[in-house]
A and B are shown apart, each in its own frame.
Chain A
Amino acid sequence: MDHSSSLEKLLRSVAITLVLVFFLFPIVWIFLMSLQTNETILRIPPSIAFTPIIDNYTALITGQLRTAAGSLQLNFMQNMFNSVLLSVCSVALSLVLGVPAAYAFARFKFRLGEDIAFTLLSFRFAPALLVLLPLSLYFKTLGLTNTYIGLIWVYQLICLPLILWIVRGYFEDISPDIEHAYRIAGNSWWRTFTRISIPLAKPGIAAAGLLAFIFAWNNFVFALILASADKQPVTVGALAFVTASGIQYGQIAAAIIISITPTLALALYAQRYLVEGLSMGAVKG
């Protein structure tokens, strides 16, 4: 880096700034919207000069939405809780099932192994709606419609293939000799798996877990079809802002800001594992 000229440095900063502006502008705009009333948002011409209000946030948190047409009940906080519960449980279950499976696919050659792995991946090929119609019929029969367990089960379609395929690659990168060495040193297969394989694949597991969480969090269509209001996540819950008296832009913006917070926090937290993963690969040689 030291030998780069000052012009190079300048150009690099300009490029980085452009990219940041491009990606962050919508978020900043939404954040500004969330602090305004519908009237100031919709005025023409638009202006960034306004008196900030926090009514949108209080409405979401208290669940009372006052509009020109009267008062409306919101269960945004329930949606938020559902989102957290569904995403966390789905990813947790996927990790419990997917990490050992990924290890098996990475280390052992068995009959139909590749076919099974591919089948799991193919869950991601089919459009969700194609799966949903038959699934909703089954769920009715099984009594799983509008249950957390049913939704977490369906969310495995999103999380499991992702975790399986990403983590598998990380396991394959670990030299089998490292595991052999630990076993020969006197440790059982299970201890080797938990003390060597898992810690060494941790960056991959963190990355896969984070991605799966984001996908689960952003899912819309599964919960729309298979759950009703009290079990729906924020993505579906946001539909409530399209009311008889118009679209509540201010509340939608506030809801977006609140609902991206957990994912953002998780991403920031997981970032160090991701970076660690990259640097570990660099020295393995």
Chain B
Amino acid sequence: MSQLAIKSLTKSYGAFKVFDGLSLAADAGEIVVIFGGSGTGKTILLRLIAGVEEPTGGVIEIGGHDVSDIAPEHRGVGMAFQNFALFPHMSAAENIATPLRAVGAAEDKVKAGVARVAKLLKIDHVLNHAPRELSNGQKQRTALARALAAEPQILLLDDPLRNVDAKLRFEMRLELPRLLRQSGATVLYVTQDYKEAMALADRIAVLANGQFVQMATPEDIYMRPATLGVARLFGDPSINTADTAIVADGSGVHAAVGGTRVPLADSYRSLAGRDVIFGVRPESVELGSSGLEAEVMAVTPLNERTVLLLQSPSGWEFLASLPSSAATIPEAGSRVRASFAAAGTHIFDRQTGERLDG
């Protein structure tokens, strides 16, 4: 039995449909990242689960029980908000203590509970401060501590790293998985940062147009994106694409990309003649002595990787991402030959954007 189950959930505001039949099941202790661009309703989904908004249709089950008629305070859910939503008139300690006080815990239990999560999140030195005296990072940790304090079975985290600086975000990305595992809660984590999603998730559920377009492990999402949209969302720099068609003849199956023939697996033969989009991740573009001839237009070093902008004789521009430690990084203006590693190439239907497997 799943700890949290969402069944054909719908939500509309007037004529505007935010969700059109969402379903999701999360096991106890699982970390599911809800990933999607802005305005896809990620926050609304968490609010529906927390019970501060009501769904238009569908069922939400927590621990196997339908919670439609259960008020937010009785759902046993912890939630951290993107804007922190700390209580400005209470100290950090009192903020963290609220879920413990709400259940009428004895004073020493409250103290112990606050001290435990504060130590875990390294904010024990600012417990007496009012929220306005805290830095954004401390606010964010206080909000997280408040969500964790009562050891909820379900933890809803709404883009908690959105409003903190890059350095802290990096640190938290490393710390959070351990913290969340320790809590033992089923976690729904909302983010629009794909690195965060990949670092934290057991499973990623990609939300777009009111539906989950793909729900899979981070590896799967990256290696086998279900749609062109998903492929574009994961990866930086974004996947290279080219409109083409699959051709099958005596010499094998291939697609014309940038004026050259890119060989495809024989299994694509059945799709011959189909209009498709060829996609290749920049890190799967390999420079060598054979393959597509291209001119290096620009070289951008980005720490451990260097991104090259290449142009084929036919005018197709694409990116290649090489490890900065590579033996030779071509200079701008030089000519190279590029080939595409099979693992990083994907074929999508041009009409629907869906992944095509041979």
Nearest chain-B residue to A189 (Cβ)? B71
- Which B297-312 residues have a C-beta within 8 angstroms of A? none
User: A200–B77 Cα gap in the complex (Å)?
Assistant: 24
Q: Quick check: which of A98-106, A164-172, A173-181 contacts chain B, the rest being far away? A: A173-181
Contact B79–A184 (Cβ < 8 Å):
yes
User: A199–B88 Cα gap in the complex (Å)?
Assistant: 10
Known: A184-B73, A185-B102, A186-B73. A177 touches B85 (CB 8 A): yes
Pick the residue among A177, A178, A187, A283 that contacts B73 (CB under 8 A): A187
Contact B85–A185 (Cβ < 8 Å):
no
A188 at interface by CB-CB < 8 Å: yes
- Which B59-96 residues have a C-beta within 8 angstroms of A? 71-75, 77-79, 81, 83, 85-89
Known: A183-B72, A188-B73. A177 touches B81 (CB 8 A): yes
Contact B103–A186 (Cβ < 8 Å):
yes
- Residues 173-211 of chain A: 1 if any B CB is under 8 Å from the residue's CB, otherwise 0? 001011011111111110000001001100000000000
User: A178–B84 Cα gap in the complex (Å)?
Assistant: 8
B36 at interface by CB-CB < 8 Å: no
Contact A175–B83 (Cβ < 8 Å):
yes
Contact B102–A175 (Cβ < 8 Å):
no
Known: A186-B103, A283-B132. A181 touches B81 (CB 8 A): yes
Complex contacts, B87 vs chain A, CB 8 Å: 178, 181-182, 196
B47 at interface by CB-CB < 8 Å: yes
**How many residue pairs bridge A and B at CB < 8 Å?**
63
User: A280–B50 Cα gap in the complex (Å)?
Assistant: 29
User: A178–B95 Cα gap in the complex (Å)?
Assistant: 11
Contact A187–B88 (Cβ < 8 Å):
no
Contact B85–A183 (Cβ < 8 Å):
no
Contact B83–A186 (Cβ < 8 Å):
no
- Residues 249-285 of chain A: 1 if any B CB is under 8 Å from the residue's CB, otherwise 0? 0000000000000000000000000000000100110
Contact A184–B72 (Cβ < 8 Å):
yes
Interface size class of B (residues with CB under 8 A): 20 to 34
Interface size class of A (residues with CB under 8 A): 10 to 19
Contact B47–A185 (Cβ < 8 Å):
no
Quote the shortest CB–CB distance from A77 to chain B (angstroms): 41
Quote the shortest CB–CB distance from B90 to chain A (angstroms): 9
Q: Is the interface of A mostly helix, strand, loop or mixed?
A: helix
Nearest chain-A residue to B102 (Cβ)? A186
Pick the residue among A180, A187, A188, A284 that contacts B52 (CB under 8 A): A180
Contact B78–A184 (Cβ < 8 Å):
yes
B141 at interface by CB-CB < 8 Å: no
- Residues 101-139 of chain B: 1 if any A CB is under 8 Å from the residue's CB, otherwise 0? 011000000000000000000000000000010000000
Contact B88–A280 (Cβ < 8 Å):
yes
Quote the shortest CB–CB distance from B44 to chain A (angstroms): 12
B18 at interface by CB-CB < 8 Å: no
Contact B52–A200 (Cβ < 8 Å):
no
User: A215–B73 Cα gap in the complex (Å)?
Assistant: 41
Contact A186–B99 (Cβ < 8 Å):
yes
Contact A178–B98 (Cβ < 8 Å):
no
B11 at interface by CB-CB < 8 Å: no
User: A284–B132 Cα gap in the complex (Å)?
Assistant: 8
Quote the shortest CB–CB distance from B69 to chain A (angstroms): 15
Complex contacts, A184 vs chain B, CB 8 Å: 50-52, 72-73, 75, 77-79
Complex contacts, B98 vs chain A, CB 8 Å: 182, 185-187
User: A199–B89 Cα gap in the complex (Å)?
Assistant: 8
Chain B CB within 10 Å — which of A181, A187, A188, A189 has the most?
A181
User: A185–B98 Cα gap in the complex (Å)?
Assistant: 6
B254 at interface by CB-CB < 8 Å: no
Quote the shortest CB–CB distance from A181 to chain B (angstroms): 4
Contact A180–B99 (Cβ < 8 Å):
no
Contact B88–A185 (Cβ < 8 Å):
no
B150 at interface by CB-CB < 8 Å: yes
Contact B79–A186 (Cβ < 8 Å):
no
**Taking beta carbons and an 8 Å cutoff, which residues of A are in contact with B?**
175, 177-178, 180-189, 196, 199-200, 280, 283-284
16 A-B pairs with CB atoms under 8 Å apart are A175-B83, A180-B52, A180-B72, A180-B85, A181-B86, A183-B52, A183-B72, A184-B50, A184-B52, A184-B75, A184-B79, A185-B98, A185-B102, A186-B150, A187-B102, A280-B88
Query: What 6 pairs across the A-B complex have the smallest Cβ distances?
Result: A186-B102, A177-B85, A185-B99, A181-B85, A185-B98, A180-B52
Supply 11 further A-B pairs (C-beta < 8 A) apart from A180-B72, A183-B52, A187-B102.
A180-B85, A181-B79, A181-B146, A183-B72, A183-B73, A188-B71, A189-B71, A200-B88, A280-B88, A283-B132, A284-B88
